Amino acid sequence: MDPIRHFKFCPSCAQPQAAPATGRPFHCTGCGFVYYFNPVIAAAALVLDEGDRALFIRRAKEPAKGRLAMPGGFVDVGETLEEAVRREVREEVNLELTALEYFSSHPNAYYYKGVTYPVLDSFFIAKARNHEAVAALDGVRSYSWLKPAEIDLDDIAFPSMRAALELYLARSHHE
């Protein structure tokens, strides 16, 4: 479901509205209020160890419950991508990132409680200190250190993550 279809009333003046076409801003015919449906921003990290294994989590919650994912999550208001990915990795797996390098971004659709949110996922390549401190915390059922080339891409939680992992594998084969 496109989030725009939920705007049956203007959030500013409460006048009933006909839902605009997908991809268009909401424009109130009464007061002129305009709302743009921009994507939500998220950040995730491919955390590598000394053996080039990557840290993957099994999601404990929907969407994609039980599937493999990189640790990460939504960017809070006032945060940079880097701050968000560091916070999310700390909250989900108890690791402090030391090296952090932007890698790529991919659009995604995040279905939650009857609404599909457009998301722009940003991916980083990272290193962490003290790998022994890793723990399954917020929203994480379990974690594993896996060789990226050995992962079944069909088990990856989101298409954007799959695209980032495919890009990582393609680039690592050319180095």
Q: pLDDT digits over 9-30, tens only?
A: 888 999 998 766 555 788 888 9
Predicted pLDDT at 6: 74
Tell which wins on pLDDT, 92 or 29. Answer: 92
pLDDT band at 138 (very low <50, low <70, confident <90, very high): very high
- What mean pLDDT is predicted for residues 110-120? 87
What is the token pair recorded at 154? 């069909």
Give the structural domain span for 159: 40-173
> Is there a single domain that holds both residue 1 and residue 73?
no
> Is there a single domain that holds both residue 17 and residue 55?
no
> Is there a single domain that holds both residue 98 and residue 23?
no
Find the largest Cα–Cα distance for the chain. 61
> Is there a single domain that holds both residue 97 and residue 145?
yes
- Domain tally for the chain? 2
> Is there a single domain that holds both residue 3 and residue 53?
no
> Is there a single domain that holds both residue 47 and residue 82?
yes
User: CA-to-CA distance for 91 and 12, rounded, in angstroms?
Assistant: 35
What is the token pair recorded at 14? 């409460």
Tell which wins on pLDDT, 29 or 6. Answer: 29
> Is there a single domain that holds both residue 80 and residue 157?
yes
Q: DSSP E strands: which ranges in 10-169?
A: 26-27, 34-35, 40-48, 54-59, 68-69, 72-74, 96-112, 115-129, 140-146
> Is there a single domain that holds both residue 19 and residue 74?
no
> What CATH number has the domain bearing residue 79?
3.90.79.10
Kindly report, residue by residue over 43-62, the tens digit of the pLDDT: 999 999 999 899 999 999 99
User: CA-to-CA distance for 171 and 124, rounded, in angstroms?
Assistant: 14
Least confident span in 30-34, 115-119, 170-174? 170-174
- Kindly state the DSSP code that residue 8 receives in the 8-state scheme: S
